[in-house]
Structures are given as C-alpha cells and as structure tokens.
Structure 1
Amino acid sequence: MLKNLCDTHTHTLYSRHSYSTIRENVLAARDAGLELLASTDHYSPMLYPEQHMRNFQFFYNYACWPCEWEGVRLMHGCEADIVDLDGHLFGWDIPVDIEINGCPLDKPEILKDRVFKGCEYVIASVHDRSFSRGASLAQTTQMYVNALHESKVLMLAHTGRSAVPFDVREVVGEAARLNKLIEINDHSLEFKRPAVDAACREIAQACAELGCKIAVNTDAHICMGIGRFAHALAMLEEIHFPQELIATTSAETFLNAMDAANIH
C-alpha cells in the first residue's frame, strides 16, 4: 500500500473561496497523521479586481509562522496562476514601488518577485484557460516548460483537469530533468469525470516511465479535506506506481525533493 504523509497543496481563508484558518488546517493535518503540511494559497488575478501589492501582503509576513506546529512540519508557499502562453506567472508585469505601510521602496520591484521572496516554494497552475484557446500543442507544451524553469516553481498542479492539452511526455520529461514535481491532485479525481481521470492516469504513467517524481496532494479548500488522498492513491496503486517516485512519502523525502530541485 502506497504511503503519503505530506499534503503540499492546501488553502486557507485567504484564498477567498476556501473556508478554514491555518490553525484549523494544522490541527486537521495532525489528526490525519501527516508529517508535513504546506499552505499554498492562491496568488492569482481571481482574488481581487484590483491588482496591487497591498492586496497580497498576506504573503509578505510568512516569517511569523512556526516551522513546526502541533508536531507537524509547516511550510508556506503559493499557488501562482500561469497567465499566458509564454508561461509567465501572475504578477510578472505588476510594478511595486511602496511598502505595505506606504513607505517608498529604495528600489522598485515587481509583484511576483516580492511575493515569491516570502515563499518556500511555488506551485504553478492554470485556472483561467481562456488565453490558450486556439493555441497549438507546441505552444501549450512550451507554456508548461517555461513555467517549470521559473526558479521558485517546484511543481505543476492539476494539469490533468485544467483542460489545456499539452505534450505530456515532453513536459514530464523536462520536469524530471529539472528534478521538479508533477502533482497528482486528489480533488481532480474525486468526481469520476472520465476525461479528467484518463488525463491524470496518462500523466501518472508518464511520470513512472520517465522517472519523474510526483506530489500527491489534496488541494483542500476546507480543513476536513486535509490528508485525504484516497482517490489519487487508488489510481496510483492500479498502475503500480513506484513508491520511490512519490516525493510526498514523508517530510524527509519532500524536503530532499526541494533540495534536488534547488528551490531556495
């Protein structure tokens, strides 16, 4: 039976369509027997109609979080939207010239860099796929490859349900080459949608064949979902996915995966 003791894609109230506090999520992780929990709220244009730095100051003060809470290793990051076919992540073109208190910065920055500075790692994903309509398979494949090359990005999330076709083996192969992760998202498999299930299976099989490590995550938007991986693990069991390629097996394996990907 496959083991998975980390949940490295979860959300708190900050994501606006989520319903639990970070403490509620930590307690749920403890009760589920997890070794490691990562909170990765949405960093995305869907949160606010106005895109300026004060709306995203949540990400600036992560240093106040404990590294361990209730016996669970606690990490922090964000889930950043891919916003164009070049693989740019949200905020790449939004200038920042003041602090959250209104004081001017000594040197102007861009919002993406300002937010990523406080994150231990970043998840890249597509939510609004409208920019990809009419794009070729080569373009959407390059989009994901470019996102993987963003230095703070550790994994691509829920590629099986984003409804953006891409060359699976090329993207998975590049992730393996970079020692980055492909997520197998339990929430994607929860509703038994044939097309999504087939896409997730194809991606998992490619990871197994090409030696790409995966992160098995819940994408929980409420505390009761933390640590519940039954759908993803069942699919992985069916295809005889190797345990050694599951980066979320334990806190140690996940932290080692971060080191291998050179995420700092």
Structure 2
Amino acid sequence: MKIIADTHAHTLASGHAYSTIREMAAAAKKRGLKALALTEHAPEMPGTCGLFYFQNLDVVPREADGVRLLMGAELNIMDPDGTVDLPEKTCRDLDIVVASIHPPCYGLDHTPEENTRAYVEVMKKPYVNIIGHPDDGRFPFDYETIVRTAKETGTLLEINNSSMRPQSSRKGTRENILTMLELCRQYEVPVTTGSDAHVDVDAGNFTNVREMLDYCNFPEELVITTDWDRLKEFLGIR
C-alpha cells in the first residue's frame, strides 16, 4: 500500500514543533509524498499561533520542492458541546481542517458519554474534514457511534502515526485503532493517515500506520491517502 499524502503535521508556528515549512516539505519529498498538510494548532493550544496566522495563509505558496502543501488547522475541541477555537469563516477558507481533543484545552474529567457527544457535535460541522487521533484511551468514547457518524457526515477518521510511538502520552492507542479499523471496515468508512509530525524527520513517517493497516488487512480503497485525485475531490481543491 503506497501512501501519498500526510494530512496532519506541524511547523514552528505551532509553538512546540521544530521545523519550517520548507524543511517539512523537503522531508515529505524524500519520503515520496505528493501532498503534505500543515495543520497548526488553533489558538487555544498554549504557545501556538493566533487567529491572524490562519487568516493570512493565502500568502503561502501551495507547492514546495514539488510537494503540494495543504495549509490548514488542527482545531481544539473545547467541551462536550463540540465548541472549537476558530471561526467558521476562517475554517472554510483553509485547505484542510482537523479537529482533535487535547488535555490542555478539553481537560481530562469528562465521561465517555460526554466525549462521544463532543466528537459527534464536531463532525456535524461541515467545515471539519478529519477527526485527529481518535485513539487516546484518556478520552474513552463509543467507537461504533463515532464511526457511524463519520459515515453520515462524510468525516474522515485519522490513523495517527505519532499516537503509536512508545513515548506517546496517549493511552491504549493500538488497541483503540484496531477497534476503529474493524468498525470502519464493517461500515465502509474511509480513513486518512497523519504523521502528526512535530519535526521534519517525522513528516510522512507512517511506519506504525502501515503496520496496523497490514496487521488487520485493511482495504486499500478505504485509505483515502493512497489516491491523490480522490483526496483532492474530498477536500474540494484543484
């Protein structure tokens, strides 16, 4: 299975990432990618960039080193009502929008029912393309509900390479990803692949992702990042 796009990565602008746009693009090129999404953390994440950063992204060329750049954001899901931290108009002007739960913004004290509701409400927002790292056992939720909602709303669920690093703070990720993949196969829900790279050497690194996809013999036709034309159509870009 050849993965040609990374739909979740960060640059220096996110505050706790360490490489520039050009460094990330060069690394993606070395890994043979056609496209790289740079999805900086939205404003409520401590240390990241502000609103105007996202409103000014039209100045950034959409190609570097022959790699198509998708300039976007990783929204923070703020509460069980699915509140996010960028205005809808700003999100609609981006190439790609990921929404994720992070402890500094969402907290660690919500119930599985509240976590499930948070994801469902976010997926109802038509400008959200992807749910980022829905694999962290610190935020348990009902996987069947989330997979079925993803199918209904046309939202992609992410297989996150960084989540499966041995040093990751996320809990139970491999088991949770396997559960999600089996449900995605059952309901024919496509997934996307994100390195969640915070430094250039990890851009397009899908070592753990490929291992999981191979382990469960996941259908290639349900991995949207194996087909650039299909991904472009999904995102509505040229």
Pairs within 5 Å for 1:74-153: 74-91=69-86, 112-113=87-88, 115-128=90-103, 131=107, 133-135=109-111, 137-153=112-128
* CA deviation profile, 1:163-201 (whole Å, cap 9, x unmatched): 211110111111012221000001111218872211111
Structure 2: gaps (5+ residues): none
The secondary structure found in structure 2 opposite 1:253 is helix
Say which of 210, 214, 227 aligns to 2:191: 214
Mapping for residues 112-261 of structure 1, pairs under 5 Å: 112-113=87-88, 115-128=90-103, 131=107, 133-135=109-111, 137-161=112-136, 163-191=138-166, 195-259=172-236
Counterpart amino acid of 2:88?
D
Tell me which amino acid in the other structure corresponds to 1:16.
G
Q: Any conservation in 2 of the 1:127–1:162 contact (CA below 8 Å)?
A: no
Q: Using the alignment, how far apart are the partners of 1:55 and 1:196 within structure 2?
A: 30
- Counterpart CA distance in 2 for 1:145 and 1:57 is 28
Distance 1:130 1:148, change over 3 A: closer
Distance 1:192 1:209, change over 3 A: farther
8 Å contact from structure 2 (residues 42, 74) kept in 1: yes
The letter of the residue matching 1:187 is: S
- Determine whether 1:71 maps to 2:70: no
Query: What displacement does 1:132 show?
Result: 5.6
- Equivalents in 2 of 1:114, 1:14: separation in Å? 21
* Shift in alpha-carbon separation, 1:158–1:25, aligned structure 2, 3 A: same
Instruction: Determine the C-alpha separation between the residues in 1 that align with 2:199 and 2:209.
Output: 18
- Relative to structure 1, the CA distance from residue 40 to residue 72 in structure 2 (aligned partners, 3 Å threshold; closer, same or farther) is same
Task: Give the number of the structure whose alpha-carbon radius of gyration is greater.
Answer: 1
User: Which letter does structure 2 place at the counterpart of 1:18?
Assistant: A
Unaligned runs of 5+ in 1: 92-111
Is 2:88–2:127's contact at 8 Å kept on the other side of the alignment?
A: no
Provide the rounded CA distance (Å) in 2 between the counterparts of 1:41 and 1:125: 12
SS in 2 for 1:37: strand
Amino acid at match of 2:25: V
Q: TM-score w.r.t. structure 1 length?
A: 0.82
Residues 190-232 of structure 1 deviation map (CA, whole Å, 9 limit, x = unaligned): 2188722111111121111111111111000001101110111
CA offset digits 1:98-122 (Å, max 9, x no partner): xxxxxxxxxxxxxx23532431221
What SS does the corresponding residue of 2:50 show, helix, strand or coil?
helix
Query: Contact between 2:116 and 2:145, CA under 8 Å: does it hold in 1?
Result: yes
Separation in 1, partners of 2:149, 2:231: 19
Distance 1:231 1:247, change over 3 A: same
- The two structures, once aligned, show a CA RMSD in angstroms of 2.2
Q: Structure 1 residue 23: deviation in Å? A: 0.7
**Which string of whole-angstrom CA distances, capped at 9 and with x for unpartnered residues, describes residues 126-174 of structure 1?**
0027546242x33321210110111210010111026211110111111
SS at structure 2 position matched to 1:248? helix
